[in-house]
A and B are shown apart, each in its own frame.
Chain A
Amino acid sequence: GENVEQHPSTLSVQEGDSAVIKCTYSDSASNYFPWYKQELGKGPQLIIDIRSNVGEKKDQRIAVTLNKTAKHFSLHITETQPEDSAVYFCAASNPHAGGTSYGKLTFGQGTILTVHP
């Protein structure tokens, strides 16, 4: 089955700096890669996702890049703000997979991002 590794486990930046979180995956058939943000006391919320037919996707201050050859993808947050402080999770799946992989996301271990004012 799929295995997703996420780094770093903790990341501390100053307000205004950029933050980058990286994930690698093992199953070359995976083609859907969402990123979730979990604020304190809340459930994970989808913030951006990318499919394998594109290499980069942006939404205001956040962007995700995908390198299918190397099987890794990254989340980039520019001009960080204190409200970006949260736990971030990457995930991977193949929405068209059969068998036991069908309909499931495999999550990374999470990154605790702290943005200092």
Chain B
Amino acid sequence: DADVTQTPRNRITKTGKRIMLECSQTKGHDRMYWYRQDPGLGLRLIYYSFDVKDINKGEISDGYSVSRQAQAKFSLSLESAIPNQTALYFCATAGTGSTDTQYFGPGTRLTVL
């Protein structure tokens, strides 16, 4: 089984709808991240969390919210989806230590019509 899983893998929705993307991990890591990937823009950080009680905004948090339900679960919500939120979304995890190596899930392709 994969260490980092994301659901759903694909989602098509309409403008104004609320969407939740879920991430689960079995790596036992404390740190979890949500990224957005757009062509030519690399990976941009939306939100990150270092433990259940810690939530931090990344560089592009407007229009998104998150919930860290447990050490292993980190959800990303779009309260009212808009077309320019159409993108690939990745969850990642990292342990604490001497490096910041992150381990990525398979991604969710979200299309907002």
Contacts and interface: CB of A to CB of B under 8 A. Distances in A.
Interface of A: 6, 9, 32, 34, 36, 41-46, 49, 51, 89, 93, 95, 103-105, 107-110
B100 A105 contact: yes
B101 interface: yes
Contact of B99 (A44, A95, A104): A95
Interface of B: 4, 31, 40-43, 45, 48, 50, 58, 90, 92, 94, 97-107
A43 B100 contact: no
B42 A107 contact: yes
A51 B99 contact: yes
A89 B43 contact: yes
Given A46-B101, A109-B42, 12 more contacts: A41-B106, A43-B92, A43-B104, A45-B104, A46-B102, A89-B43, A93-B100, A103-B50, A103-B100, A105-B102, A108-B42, A109-B40
With a 10 A CB-CB cut-off, give which of B58, B98, B100 has the most chain A CB atoms.
B100
A58 B109 CA distance: 34
B42 A43 contact: no
A42 B92 CA distance: 13
A89 B41 CA distance: 11
B22 to A, nearest CB: 15
Contacts of B50: 103
A9 B40 contact: yes
Nearest to B106: A43
Nearest to A94: B100
B4 to A, nearest CB: 8
B40 A103 contact: no
Given A32-B99, A93-B100, A103-B100, A42 B106 contact: yes
B99 A103 contact: no
Of A41, A43, A46, the most chain B CB neighbours within 10 A belong to A43
13 contacts: A9-B40, A34-B100, A36-B104, A41-B107, A43-B90, A43-B104, A44-B104, A46-B103, A49-B101, A95-B97, A103-B31, A109-B40, A109-B41
Contacts of A103: 31, 48, 50, 94, 100
